[in-house]
Amino acid sequence: MSVDFVGRRGALFWLALKTGFFTIITLGFYRFWMKTRLRRWYWSAIRPGGHPMEYVGEPLEKLLGFFIAVVILTFYIGIVNLLLMFLSFAVFSTASVGYLASFAGVVPLWFYARYRARRYVLSRTRWRGVRFGLEKAAWGYTWRAVAHWCVTLISLGALWPRMTFYLEKYVTDRTYFGSARLHQDGHWSMLYRAAIPLIIALLLLAGSMVWMLWYDPVFGPEGLSLSGIAHDILTDGTVVYPLARPERLLLVPIALAGILYGAIHYRFVSKRLMAGHKSAEGITLASRLSGPRVAFIYTFGSFIAYSVLVVGVGALAIAGLAVFGPSALVFLDLGIEEASLDIPQSVAVALLVMFYLAIFLLWNVLYNTFVTFPLMRHLARTTSLPKRYGLRYVSQRARDEFAEAEGFAEALDVGAAI
Amino acid sequence: MSRGFDGFGSAYFDGDRPVGEEVSLHLANHNLQIGLDDGNTLFWPVKDIRLLPDLAGKKGYVLRLTTDPLARLYLTDRSLMTFLPTPRGKIPARGRRRLLAWAVAAVAAVALQIAVLVPLLADRLAAFIPPSGERALGAATLDQIRRVLDDTGLDPLSYCENPAGVAALTRMTNALNQGKDRLENLSVHVLDHPMANGFALPGGYVVLFRGLIDQAESPDQIAAVLAHEMGHVWTRDPTRHALRSAGSIGVLGLVFGDFAGGAAVLFLTERLISARYSQQAETDADTFGYTRLGAANVSPAVMGDMFDLLRDTAGDTNQLLAHFLSHPTLSQRIDAARAAVDASRSYTPILDDTSWAALQKICD
Domain ranges within chain A, ordered by starting residue: 187-276
* CA A129 to chain CA centroid, nearest Å: 30
Burial of A62 (0-12, 13-18, 19+ CB in 10 A): buried
pLDDT at position B296 over 60: yes
Closest-CA residue to B56 (of A107, A216, A46, A91): A46
Q: What is the per-residue pLDDT for B241?
A: 80
Q: How far apart are the first and last CA of chain A?
A: 25
Q: State the Cα–Cα distance between residues A48 and A35, nearest whole angstrom.
A: 23
Helix axes B163-176, B279-295, angle to 10 degrees: 100
Residues A226-251 have a mean pLDDT of 66
Q: What is the pTM of this model?
A: 0.77
Reference A195, options A144, A158, A145; nearest CA is A158
Residues A249-255: what's their mean pLDDT?
Answer: 87
Q: What is the Cα gyration radius of chain B?
A: 35
Asked if B168 contacts B356 with a C-beta cutoff of 8 angstroms, the reply is yes
* Residues A5/A377, Cβ–Cβ less than 8 Å: yes
pLDDT of A403: 64
Query: Which among A73, A82, A396 has CB closest to B118?
Result: A82
User: How many C-beta atoms surround the C-beta of residue B184 within 10 A?
Assistant: 7
What pairing do the DSSP bridges indicate for beta strands B11-13 and B3-5?
A: unpaired
B131 contacts in chain A (CB < 8 Å): none
- Residue of B210, B209, B167, B173 whose CA lies nearest to B188: B173
Q: What does pLDDT average to over chain B?
A: 79
% pLDDT > 70, chain A: 81
- Choosing among B8, B14, B17, B245, which should be mutated to test the A contact, i.e. which has the most A CBs within 10 A? B17
Residue A216: φ, ψ to 5° = -140, 80
ipTM: 0.79
What residues does A410 pair with on adjacent strands? none
Q: Which strands, in side-by-side order, build the sheet including A183-184?
A: A183-184, A278-280, A283-284
Of A338, A400, A391, A335, nearest in space to A128 by CA? A391
**Is the torsion defined by CA of B55, B58, B62, B66 positive or negative?**
positive
Q: CA-CA distance, B251 to B262, in Å (whole number)?
A: 13
Of A266-280, B107-121, B323-337, which range is least confident?
B323-337
Reduced to 3 states, what is the DSSP secondary structure of residue B34? strand
Contact in structure between A139 and A147 (CB atoms under 8 Å): no
Residue A6 to residue B11, Cβ atoms within 8 A: no
Q: How far is CA B132 from CA A81, A330, B121, in A?
A: 20, 42, 20
Q: Which residue has the higher pLDDT, A188 or B69?
A: A188
CA–CA dist A236, A371 (Å, integer):
50
pLDDT band at A333 (very low <50, low <70, confident <90, very high): very low
- For A272-323, the pLDDT digits (tens) are 999 999 999 999 999 999 999 999 999 999 999 899 888 877 877 777 666 6
A177 and chain B: CB distance < 8 Å anywhere? Answer: yes
Q: Which residue of B has its CA nearest to A338?
A: B317
pLDDT tens string B173-205 = 888 888 777 888 888 989 888 877 788 888 889
B90–chain A Cβ distance below 8 A for any pair: no
The sign of the dihedral angle between the CA atoms of B294, B298, B302, B303 is negative
Percent of chain A with pLDDT over 90: 45
Q: Inform me whether the C-beta atom of residue A403 falls under 8 Å from chain B C-beta atoms.
A: yes
Min distance B66 CA to chain A CA atoms (Å): 14
Among B72, B121, B214, the residue to mutate for chain A (most A Cβ within 10 A): B72
**CA-CA-CA-CA torsion sign (B336, B339, B342, B348):** positive
pLDDT band at A343 (very low <50, low <70, confident <90, very high): low
Report angle CA A93, A97, A103 to the nearest 5 degrees.
150
- Quote the pLDDT of residue B260: 38
Which among B123, B137, B243 is the top mutation candidate for probing chain A, defined by the most A β-carbons within 10 Å of its own β-carbon?
B137
Q: Do B60 and A52 touch (CB under 8 A)?
A: yes
Cβ contact B105–A71 (<8 Å): yes
At residue A46, the 3 state secondary structure works out as strand
Q: Are A111 and A390 in contact (CB under 8 A)?
A: no
End-to-end CA distance of chain B, in Å? 95
Return the number of CB contacts < 8 Å for A and B. 197
Taking an 8 Å cut-off on Cβ atoms, the answer to whether B54 and A356 are in contact is: no
A84 and B119 in contact (C-beta within 8 Å)?
no
User: A70–B121: do the CB atoms touch at under 8 Å?
Assistant: no
Per-residue pLDDT at B136 exceeds 50: yes
Are A125 and A46 a contacting pair, CB within 8 Å? no
**Which pLDDT band, with edges at 50, 70 and 90, does A224 fall under?**
low
pLDDT at A225: 57
Chain B, nearest residue to A70 by Cα: B106
